[in-house]
C-alpha cells in the first residue's frame, strides 16, 4: 500500500511532536511559539504547513528559513497547494493527494532541520558525541524515507547503532506498505514506529 491513505494517516501520527501538541493554536504569533528554540520553531512551522497547506503557512516557513540562510523557492509548493485545491472533490483525490504529499515532504526536507547545523558545528569542534546526538535529533524531524535513510547512512562511520537503525527503518517501511488501514493495524504501526524512534534517540 505504497503512498496510500494509510501512509498519510501514519505519517501524520509519527511526525506529531510533543512540541507541536503543546501549541493548541496554529498561530505562530502565540506566546508559546515565541518561547520555543529556533530549531523547535522550524519543526512547528513545517508541521503546520504539511498539516494545513496554505499560502500563509508557506510564507511563515519560508521567511523563517531565509533568516537562517536557506534559499527557499516557494513556487513549487504553491503548485502543490493549488493541486490540493483542485483535487479536493476529484474522483482520485486521495491517490493524488498522497502523490502531492510525497513531493511536499521532499521539498520540506530540503530545508534541513537546524539540528544538522548544530551537529556540523560540534564535529568541527571535535565533539563527536554531540555531533551524533544532534544528527539523530535532526533525523527524527525528517519526513521522507529517502532523507531519513541518507542521513542514517552518513552516520554509519560515526555511530555503532546506525546500521541497526537503518535495518529497523527498512522493516518499518515494509510493515507500513503491507499494512491494512484498520484501527488495529494502524495502532500496531504506531507502536512499531514509537519503538524505532525510541531506539533512534536513545544511546
Q: Which of 52, 51, 49 is nearest to 72 (CA)?
A: 49
CA–CA dist 6, 184 (Å, integer): 12
Q: Tell whether the model's pLDDT for residue 11 goes beyond 60.
A: no
Q: Which pLDDT value is given to residue 99? A: 81
pLDDT at 5 over 80: no
Q: How far is CA 20 from the centre of its chain?
A: 12
Asked whether the predicted pLDDT for residue 178 surpasses 80, the reply is: yes
CA–CA dist 86, 88 (Å, integer): 6
CB 131 within 8 A of CB 123: yes
Give the mean model confidence (pLDDT) for residues 115-132.
Answer: 97
Query: Which DSSP symbol is given to 24?
Result: S
pLDDT of res. 25: 41
Confidence of residue 83 (pLDDT cuts 50, 70, 90): confident
Amino acid at each position: 500500500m505504497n503512498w496510500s491513505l494509510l501512509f498519510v494517516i501514519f505519517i501524520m501520527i509519527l511526525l506529531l511532536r510533543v512540541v507541536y501538541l503543546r501549541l493548541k493554536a496554529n498561530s505562530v504569533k502565540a506566546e508559546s511559539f515565541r518561547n520555543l528554540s529556533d530549531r523547535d520553531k522550524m519543526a512547528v512551522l513545517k508541521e503546520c504547513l504539511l498539516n494545513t497547506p496554505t499560502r500563509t503557512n508557506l510564507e511563515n516557513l519560508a521567511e523563517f528559513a531565509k533568516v537562517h540562510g536557506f534559499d527557499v523557492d516557494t513556487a513549487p509548493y504553491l503548485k502543490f497547494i493549488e493541486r490540493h485545491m483542485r483535487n479536493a472533490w476529484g474522483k482520485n483525490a486521495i491517490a493524488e493527494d498522497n502523490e502531492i504529499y510525497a513531493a511536499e515532504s521532499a521539498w520540506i526536507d530540503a530545508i534541513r532541520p537546524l539540528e544538522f547545523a548544530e551537529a556540523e558545528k560540534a564535529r568541527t569542534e571535535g565533539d563527536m558525541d554531540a555531533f551524533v546526538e544532534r544528527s539523530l535529533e535532526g533525523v527524527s524531524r525528517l519526513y521522507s524515507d529517502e532523507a531519513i535513510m541518507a542521513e542514517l547512512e552518513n552516520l554509519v562511520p560515526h555511530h555503532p547503532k546506525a546500521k541497526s537503525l537503518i535495518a529497523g527503518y527498512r522493516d518499518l517501511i515494509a510493515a507500513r506498505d503491507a499494512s491494512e488501514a484498520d484501527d488495529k493495524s494502524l495502532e500496531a504501526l504506531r507502536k512499531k514506529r514509537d519503538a524505532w524512534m525510541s531506539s533512534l534517540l536513545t544511546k
